[in-house]
Amino acid sequence: MHLQRRLAGKKLQRLQVLKAAKPAVSPARLKKALEGRKLTKVYREGKELRLAFDNGHILGLHMMLRGKLEWMEGEKPPAYGLLLLDFEGGQRLLLQDYQRKARIELDPEGSEVPDALSKAANTAFWKKLLQTKATIKNLLLDQQAVRGIGSAYADEILYQARISPFSVSNKIPPDKVKALATAVKKVLKNAIQHIRKAAPDIIGGELRDFLVVHNARKKKSPGGKAIKVRSTGGRKTYYTQEQQLYT
DNA sequence: TGGCATGTTGGCGA
DNA sequence: CTCGCCAACATGCC
């Protein structure tokens, strides 16, 4: 990861909680725990970005819907700046979010819920997880069930596995559950690979042009079928008739 | 122009 | 109890 390459081994010289932040942790506690410490590792946990420091403390950042990281330029932080981290070498990492919803945590609790790309999320795990009446897309989005999958990737995964997003989880046959388990890894790994190649320096913002069904501009799936859209739970679901509905 | 967007939470109703 | 749906957040993008 790019942040890891740029920042690992560097000392955090200054931490500023900015005006727009609604901190769950007091700025004083954050400063005390992290200022002057060396950043050892940057990694992802579910939908959180984690920065680990050499004294064992971990800074957890959740971007929510619109949070964004960028390299700070100029002197004055923007109106929606939440957190500014000054590293040795002059690199200034800025977290901003106009919705002010991005979360800043100190030493986030470990979770028993497996990340979608973890070893624990194997076919047996998915078979057990799908023993519920919840519709499959809602289940994929449930961070208490499995971590790291959002609306767009849920649509991509279900297309890849040829399962309708409106299928009842416990009606999906075993061979299809296996296909789902495979699709989860494939879609997420492909996305990481694609983004790495297309935008190796990206630290914020998003890249979605490669999504094959969850894309308002696309009319047809790779199989040439019309992409249908349905609003559900305040969000849009993109799917095609190539996906089998189990009810 | 305006519809739409990698998310979470809590409350309500079926 | 389980599940689905809704609003709130209020800017940037094509």
Tens of pLDDT, residues A89-126: 999 999 999 888 899 999 998 888 999 999 999 999 99
Q: Is strand B less than 7 A from the beta carbon of A137?
A: no
Query: Under 8 Å CB-to-CB from A243, ≥6 apart: which residues?
Result: A158, A159, A162, A163, A164, A165
Nucleotides of C under 7 A from a protein CB: 2-12
Q: Is strand C less than 7 A from the beta carbon of A186?
A: no
Distance in angstroms: CA A245, C1' B3: 29
Q: Is strand C less than 7 A from the beta carbon of A138?
A: yes
Q: What is the pLDDT of residue A202?
A: 85
Q: What is the pLDDT of residue A55?
A: 98
Distance in angstroms: CA A174, C1' B7: 30
Q: What is the pLDDT of residue A12?
A: 98
Query: Mean pLDDT throughout A36-41?
Result: 98
Amino acid at A184: V
Angstrom distance (rounded) from CA A231 to CA A170: 23
Q: Please say whether the beta carbons of A101 and A63 come within 8 A.
A: no
Shortest CA to C1' contact from A131: nucleotide = C2
pLDDT (tens digit, 9 = 90+) per residue, A129-181? 999 999 999 999 999 999 999 999 999 999 999 999 999 999 999 999 999 99
Distance in angstroms: CA A44, C1' C13: 26
Edge to edge, what strands does the sheet with A103-106 contain?
A39-45, A48-53, A58-62, A103-106
Rounded (10°) angle between helices A151-160 and A174-198: 120
Question: Distance of alpha carbon A166 from its chain centroid, rounded?
Answer: 23
- Give the residue from A95, A106, A109, A82 showing the smallest Cα distance to A28: A106
Angstrom distance (rounded) from CA A81 to CA A190: 32
Query: Under 8 Å CB-to-CB from A33, ≥6 apart: which residues?
Result: A53, A55, A57, A106, A107
Q: Is strand C less than 7 A from the beta carbon of A234?
A: yes
Distance in angstroms: CA A128, C1' B4: 35
Q: Is strand C less than 7 A from the beta carbon of A145?
A: no
Q: What is the pLDDT of residue A98?
A: 87
**Residue A233 banded pLDDT, cuts 50, 70, 90:** low
A237 has a pLDDT exceeding 90:
yes
Amino acid at A61: L
Shortest CA to C1' contact from A233: nucleotide = C5
Q: Which helix (H) or strand (E) holds A69?
A: strand A68-71
Shortest CA to C1' contact from A100: nucleotide = C9
Beta bridge partners of A39: A53
- Give the residue from A242, A224, A124, A139 showing the smallest Cα distance to A178: A124
Q: Is strand B less than 7 A from the beta carbon of A44?
A: no
A208 has a pLDDT exceeding 90:
no
